[in-house]
Amino acid sequence: MLSRVRVWLNRTYAENVFFMDQLRRNPSDRAVEIHATHGDPDSPVLAAADTAELEPEGLSPAAYVEYALDQCARRGIDVFVPRLHQSAIVAHRAEFEAAGTALLAPTPEAVAVFEDKVVAYEAVRGIGVPVPPWWRVRTADELLGAVEELEARGDKPCFKPASGAGGVGFRMITRSPFSMVQLSGFPSPYVPLDLVLDAVAQAEEPVDWLVMPRLEQPEVSVDCLTGRDNRVRMAVGRTKHGRRRGFTLHEQWLEPARRIAEGFGLHHLSNIQFRMYGDRPVLLDVNTRPAGGLHQLSLCGINAPWAAVQLALGEETGVLEPPFLGQDYAVVSGPRPLRPVSIPQQRMEEPQSQPQQQPQLPQQSLSAAGAAEPADGPVTLAQAESASRAIAPA
C-alpha cells in the first residue's frame, strides 16, 4: 500500500484552496496530507489544510530557507510548493532533497530570468518568441520619452513594475487632466500623465518601471507542466475576454509557451501569458509558479496539481491531453471557511490596594485543521514553533 504524500504550500494565494482540493481528489486515490503556512491568520488556505502554522515575519531570504528546511524536517514534507522566497529556496534544492523533500519549482536559472520582466523579454526574444515594444524607465524624463514614442506610434501607453506578480502596480496613462471622472464610479487604472511625472520627479528614489503599449484581448494563460528532462507534459490555454473564460489548444498560443518552458527549464508548473499586439500574440508575462486559476483545467478533465506532484516524486505521467475542452464559463466568488478567531482574555479593573498583576497573555484556540490560532498582535518565530510543536501530528 502506498504511503500518504505530505505536501506543503507556503504563503500561497487564497484561490489555491482549489489546488488543495484537487490533490485530495487525485485519480490515483492516494492519501494526501497538506501543510500550509501563511502570514495572514485569515487566509482560507490555513483552514483548508490538514495542519497549519502562521509564518514568522521579517525573515531574510537566507533565514527563511532555514525556516523552510526545519518545517520540511519536522513535518516530513515530501513535496514543497514554494511561492514566498522561491528564488532563495530553489538555490538550496540539494539541501531539501537531502532532507527527503522534492521542490515543485523550476531551476534557479529559470527563476532568475523571469524575476525581472526586462531580462525575461530580452531572453525570450532571443529564442524567437514575439514580445511587445518596451522601455525600462527610472526617471520622469525617460518616462515622458517612452510615452511620447508610444503615442507617436498610435499606441496607448501603460506601465508596471519591472519585477512583481500579477497586476500589482499596473496603470494606464492618459493625457486627460484629473477631474471628477476619476472620482466617480469604480476606481480606474487610468492616471493623468502630469501627475505621474510630478510623482516620479519628486520621488526619493528612482522608479523601476516597464513602459509598453496597452495590449488587447483576448488574454491567454497557458498552463504548462514540464519534467526535469525539459519535456513539456501538458500545455493548455485558458482564454479571458472580459468576463468570458474558455479554453484553447491553438498552436499560436501553445507553441511559444512550450518553447519558453522547455528552453528555460521551467520545470513543474508554470503559467505563460499572452495578449494581442496588433494582429499577433505577444508575450505578456511568465509565472514560475502554479497559476491561481490552474484548478479551472478540471473543466477539461485534467487534475494538473496531482500530475505535478507525481512528477516531483519521480513518477512519470506521460503527456496529458485534455479529453475534452470545457464550455465557456465565468469566475464568481464564493464562501470558504476560516479558522476560528481567538479573543484575548480581558483584564478587569482591580482595586488600587491590590498588587498589580502581570497582564494575561492572549489565549490560543485550535482550529478544525488542528493548528494553533494566534490572537491579535505580532507572532514571533518562537511562538509559532511552540504552537506548531504542541499540535504536530505524531
Give the DSSP per-residue string, 296-333. GGGGGT--HHHHHHHHHTT--------SS-PPPB----
Chain mean pLDDT for the chain: 89
Contact by Cβ (8 Å): 289, 270: yes
pLDDT value of residue 26: 97
Residue 292 scores a pLDDT above 50: yes
Q: What average pLDDT does this structure show over 153-177? A: 91
pLDDT value of residue 393: 40
Cis peptide before 218 (omega within 30 of 0): yes
Write the burial class of residue 20 (CB in 10 Å: 0-12 exposed, 13-18 middle, 19+ buried): buried
pLDDT value of residue 370: 38
Contact by Cβ (8 Å): 101, 77: yes
Residue 85 scores a pLDDT above 90: yes
What's the pLDDT band for 365 if we cut at 50, 70, 90?
Answer: very low
Sign of CA dihedral 151, 155, 159, 163: negative
Residue pLDDT, tens place only, 134-159: 999 999 999 999 999 999 999 999 99
pLDDT value of residue 69: 98
Q: What average pLDDT does this structure show over 35-57? A: 96
Residue 221 scores a pLDDT above 50: yes
DSSP assignment of 106-124:
--HHHHHHHHSHHHHHHHH
SS3 at position 229? coil
CB atoms within 10 A of CB 342: 18
pLDDT value of residue 344: 47
d(CA 272, CA 289): 10
SS3 at position 200? helix
Q: What average pLDDT does this structure show over 214-232? A: 97
Cα distances (Å, whole numbers) of residue 204 to 139, 144, 171, 200: 11, 19, 20, 9
d(CA 289, CA 90): 12
Residue 382 scores a pLDDT above 90: no
The greatest distance separating any two alpha carbons of the chain, rounded to the nearest whole angstrom, comes to: 83
Residue pLDDT, tens place only, 97-119: 999 999 999 999 999 999 999 99
Which residue reads 522608479 in cell numbers? Answer: 207
pLDDT value of residue 342: 61
Q: What average pLDDT does this structure show over 119-129? A: 97
SS3 at position 244? strand
Here the cell at position 262 is 522547455
% the chain with pLDDT above 90:
81
Q: What average pLDDT does this structure show over 6-28? A: 97
Q: What average pLDDT does this structure show over 307-316? A: 97
The torsion angle over the Cα atoms of residues 52, 57, 60 and 66, rounded to 10 degrees, is -30
Residue 356 scores a pLDDT above 80: no
What's the pLDDT band for 1 if we cut at 50, 70, 90?
Answer: low
% the chain with pLDDT above 70:
86
In a 13 Å sphere around the CA of 74, the CA atoms on its Cβ side amount to 18
pLDDT value of residue 299: 98
CB atoms within 10 A of CB 1: 4
Residue pLDDT, tens place only, 236-283: 999 999 999 999 999 999 999 999 999 999 999 999 999 999 999 999
Residue pLDDT, tens place only, 180-210: 888 888 888 999 999 999 999 999 999 999 9
DSSP assignment of 365-378:
EE-TTS-EE--SS-
d(CA 314, CA 243): 38
Residue 392 scores a pLDDT above 50: no
H or E element: which one contains 223?
A: strand 216-226
Chain-centroid distance of CA 182 in Å reads: 30
Q: What average pLDDT does this structure show over 336-361? A: 56
pLDDT value of residue 258: 98
Here the cell at position 251 is 498552436
Which residue reads 490560543 in cell numbers? Answer: 364
Q: What average pLDDT does this structure show over 50-55? A: 96
In a 13 Å sphere around the CA of 2, the CA atoms on its Cβ side amount to 11
